[in-house]
RNA sequence: GGCCCGUUCGUCUAGGGGUUAGGACGUUAGAUUUUCAUUCUAGAAACAGGGGUUCGAUUCCCCUACGGGCUACCA
């Protein structure tokens, strides 16, 4: 690596929600930048006016924010190399495209999309390249005057790169090592579209150069077009400044085959996007990890482990730890199938490790949404501590803790009623009178008294525990009963026993 | 079809010329928890195939197979 300051960019196209692979690319970019005390730039690649989606840019910004990743430069915070939206840089690209034409590395092409479609149908494996470019409508083939006339008449045209013949383009990918391509196999990609906007190929090279990007991370799907980019760096005379490339392995469908897509989420029942995404045109809502109840720490952690590890058995990493441990050499080459079960495990681990204070707000919101009002913060903190180890997703806090704030709306009556006896009624009536006499309502104290009373009444403790639990909780779940009772306090415990007794005996 | 990339338990992966091929998720069994979950213990489970190179290949090379990506005036 050179002594230049490390600068990386995440350059999404604002066409919809951000999916797993996108966030992982952000993450690796960010980890690398921060590891090397460099800059992380957010650049919006909105060069396709047809695919542009309102709100997508804001969504990307919100995603980064949720993840705790702050760009050093972006369309909103600006920076030395602004603007960071390619649509706002439009005039820049034409200049470089024209320069390439002037130097003979590119040419004007006047073929219409319809004509090219026809060609593709007519000629098997048609490529706009060395084999066919001299039979098509372009400045390589047409007489100079005719080209000038067409240009003068504002005839719609594109600028294409002229791929050299019989050459090999190779480079050293930071992840894949030596990679090479035969130029005869690569077609004359469009650089500048008829609307004057650059294609990705031109824009990525020009902007990476202008923004002084030193390391370029992107998905493996870009590998086949790498030779075009390499050539552009060379033709434009910037080869010495070319970033190092890292083509990341893809995230694959858990079942079947292929790249993970939005559709798979709907089909298999798990989110693919970082956050909920609402398509304003169709009204379709694509669920996100955030809304499902993932902690951002867990989300980033599980994403990082999809293709990276630190070489030890450690699997739980905070963002800071990842920055410290990250290295490109430890990124795997092969694509990874996404496993939602493991994803949930990461979240459960993170919930367990996060202290109640940090969880407080989120749990409070979840309870509020369900109509459970929390007024005592200290009490909420205690509740979180006692139930968090049985929550996998944030919304699990509702079922696990609602009964601490309100009496059970209904009881799992079938678990107690068939085995109910008058002796049990008698026991709980006695318990209600005995409980207030206790000096301490600590779990151990109530448990001792509970058991003693059972013995006095000649009943088995085991037959009384479940009914007691159901009286307090409503169902067969939750922490230890006496811990629950302790938190609830004597008066609330007694009220619940009495109320449940009516339901059990009625 | 052409080109490019890849291939260790079901999944994510560690490892690397000589290992009982390790961990995690999931799964199975047991323990603990007089509920559920947690936790703990144990078990099943993998080097795609064929050729080389080598005293010795899962590891290095080649081929095949399989998987994936690209093949737009989309990124």
**What pLDDT, in 10s, does the model give residues A161-215?**
999 999 999 999 999 999 999 999 999 999 999 999 999 999 999 999 999 999 9
pLDDT of A2: 55
Tens of pLDDT, residue by residue over A26-74, are 999 999 999 999 999 999 999 999 999 999 999 999 999 999 999 999 9
| Contact assessment for residue A483 and residue A390, using Cβ atoms and an 8 Å cutoff | no
Size of chain A in residues: 506
CA distance A320 to A293: 22
* Contact, A120 CB vs strand B, < 7 Å: yes
Which of the residues A90, A119, A262, A417 is marked catalytic? A262
CA of A341 to C1' of B29 (A): 22
| Contact assessment for residue A258 and residue A252, using Cβ atoms and an 8 Å cutoff | yes
| Contact assessment for residue A77 and residue A43, using Cβ atoms and an 8 Å cutoff | no
* Contact, A112 CB vs strand B, < 7 Å: yes
CA of A303 to C1' of B10 (A): 20
First to last CA, chain A: 79
Nucleic strand B contacts from chain A, 238-257, CB < 7 Å: 249-250, 252, 254, 256-257
CA of A227 to C1' of B7 (A): 25
Tell me the three state secondary structure of residue A201: helix
Cα angle, residue A266 at apex, residues A262 and A271 outer, rounded to 5°:
70
Residue A1 has pLDDT above 60, yes or no: no
Tens of pLDDT, residue by residue over A218-263, are 999 999 999 999 999 999 999 999 999 999 999 999 986 789 998 8
CA of A333 to C1' of B50 (A): 24
CA distance A75 to A68: 18
> Which H, E and C letters describe A226-265, residue by residue?
HHHHHHHHHHCCCHHHCCEEEEECCEECCCCCCECCHHHH
Tens of pLDDT, residue by residue over A273-308, are 999 999 988 899 999 999 999 999 999 999 999 999
For residue A214 the two structure tokens come to 């030193």
Q: pLDDT band at residue A13, thresholds of 50, 70 and 90? A: very high
CA of A439 to C1' of B59 (A): 69
* Contact, A334 CB vs strand B, < 7 Å: yes
Beta bridge partners of residue A308, listed in sequence order: A331
Scanning every strand, the nucleotide with its C1' closest to A342's CA turns out to be: B25
Scanning every strand, the nucleotide with its C1' closest to A195's CA turns out to be: B73
For tokens 């990493």, name the residue. Answer: A317
CA of A128 to C1' of B64 (A): 33
CA distance A497 to A494: 5
Tens of pLDDT, residue by residue over A319-369, are 999 999 999 999 999 999 999 999 999 999 999 999 999 999 999 999 999
| Contact assessment for residue A85 and residue A75, using Cβ atoms and an 8 Å cutoff | yes
A172: DSSP letter = E
CA distance A361 to A378: 13
- The answer to whether the predicted template modeling score (pTM) of the entire model surpasses 0.80 is yes
Nearest Cα neighbor of A192 from A232, A147, A251 is: A232
Cα angle, residue A194 at apex, residues A193 and A198 outer, rounded to 5°:
25
Residue A3 has pLDDT above 80, yes or no: no
For tokens 């909420």, name the residue. Answer: A380
Rg from Cα positions in chain A? 32
Q: What is the mean pLDDT of chain A?
A: 95
CA distance A309 to A307: 7
Residue A455 has pLDDT above 60, yes or no: yes
Q: What distances in angstroms separate CA A284 from CA A49, A253, A277, A280, one per listed residue?
A: 21, 21, 8, 7
* Residue A262 a catalytic site member: yes
Nucleic strand B contacts from chain A, 391-450, CB < 7 Å: none
Strand B, nucleotides < 7 Å from a protein CB: these are 1-8, 10-15, 22-26, 33-38, 67-75
Tens of pLDDT, residue by residue over A85-96, are 999 999 999 999
Instruction: Give the largest Cα separation in chain A, rounded.
Output: 112
């Amino acid at each position: 690596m050179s002594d230049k300051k490390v600068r990386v960019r995440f350059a999404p196209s604002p066409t919809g929600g951000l999916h797993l692979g996108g966030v992982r690319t952000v993450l690796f970019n960010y980890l690398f930048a921060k590891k090397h005390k460099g800059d992380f730039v957010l650049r919006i690649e909105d060069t396709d006016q047809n695919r542009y989606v309102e709100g997508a840019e804001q969504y990307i910004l919100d995603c980064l924010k949720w993840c705790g990743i702050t760009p050093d430069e972006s369309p909103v915070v600006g920076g030395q190399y602004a603007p960071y939206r390619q649509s706002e840089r439009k005039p820049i690209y034409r200049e470089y495209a024209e320069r390439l034409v002037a130097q003979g590395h590119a040419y004007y092409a006047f073929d219409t999309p319809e004509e090219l479609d026809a060609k593709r149908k007519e000629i098997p494996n048609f490529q706009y390249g060395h084999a066919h470019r001299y039979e098509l409508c372009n400045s390589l083939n047409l007489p100079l005057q005719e080209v000038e006339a067409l240009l003068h008449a504002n005839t719609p045209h594109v600028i294409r790169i002229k791929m050299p013949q019989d050459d090999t383009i190779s480079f050293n990918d930071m992840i894949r090592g030596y990679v090479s391509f035969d130029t005869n196999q690569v077609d004359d990609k469009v650089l500048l579209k008829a609307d004057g906007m650059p294609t990705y190929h031109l824009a990525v090279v020009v902007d990476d150069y202008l923004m002084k990007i030193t390391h370029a991370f992107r998905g493996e799907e870009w590998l086949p077009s790498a030779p075009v980019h390499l050539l552009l760096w060379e033709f434009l005379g910037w080869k010495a400044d070319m970033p190092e490339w890292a083509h990341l392995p893809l995230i694959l469908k858990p079942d079947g085959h292929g790249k993970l897509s939005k559709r798979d989420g709907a089909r298999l029942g798990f989110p693919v996007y970082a956050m909920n995404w609402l398509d304003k045109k169709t009204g379709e809502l694509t669920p996100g990890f955030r809304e499902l109840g993932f902690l951002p720490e867990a989300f980033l952690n599980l994403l990082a482990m999809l293709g990276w590890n630190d070489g030890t058995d450690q699997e739980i990493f905070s963002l800071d730890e990842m920055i410290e441990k990250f290295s490109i050499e430890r990124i795997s080459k092969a694509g990874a199938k996404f496993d939602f079960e493991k994803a949930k495990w990461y979240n459960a681990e993170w919930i367990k490790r996060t202290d109640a204070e940090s969880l407080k707000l989120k749990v409070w919101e979840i309870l509020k949404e369900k109509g459970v009002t929390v007024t005592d913060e200290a009490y909420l903190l205690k509740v979180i501590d006692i139930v968090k180890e049985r929550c996998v997703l944030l919304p699990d806090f509702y079922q696990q803790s609602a009964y601490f704030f309100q009496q059970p709306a209904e009881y799992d009556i079938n678990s107690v009623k068939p085995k109910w006896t008058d002796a049990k009624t008698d026991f709980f009536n006695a318990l209600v009178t005995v409980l207030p006499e206790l000096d301490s309502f600590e779990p151990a104290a109530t448990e001792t008294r509970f058991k003693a009373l059972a013995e006095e009444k000649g009943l088995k403790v085991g037959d009384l525990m479940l009914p007691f639990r159901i009286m307090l909780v409503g169902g067969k779940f939750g922490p230890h009963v006496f811990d629950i009772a302790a938190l609830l306090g004597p008066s609330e415990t007694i009220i619940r026993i009495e109320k449940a007794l009516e339901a059990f005996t009625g």
